[in-house]
Amino acid sequence: MKITILNGNPQESSFDAYLKEIQGQLEEKGSRV
């Protein structure tokens, strides 16, 4: 499955932090992010 999320906000938000956290969790389980 491929998902693309585009965020044009130049300042990092809590949503960006959430995406980084999810990325780490997915990569730990062997997913390619």
pTM of the model: 0.66
| pLDDT at residue 5, rounded to an integer | 85
| pLDDT at residue 11, rounded to an integer | 87
Domain count, the chain: 1
CB 5 within 8 A of CB 19: yes
| pLDDT at residue 24, rounded to an integer | 96
**What would the pLDDT profile of 1-33 be if each residue is shown by its tens digit?**
888 888 888 888 898 999 999 999 999 999 998
DSSP sequence for the chain: ---------SS--HHHHHHHHHHHHHHHTT---
* CA-wise closest residue to 12 among 21, 25, 3: 21
The residue range of the domain holding 5 is 1-32
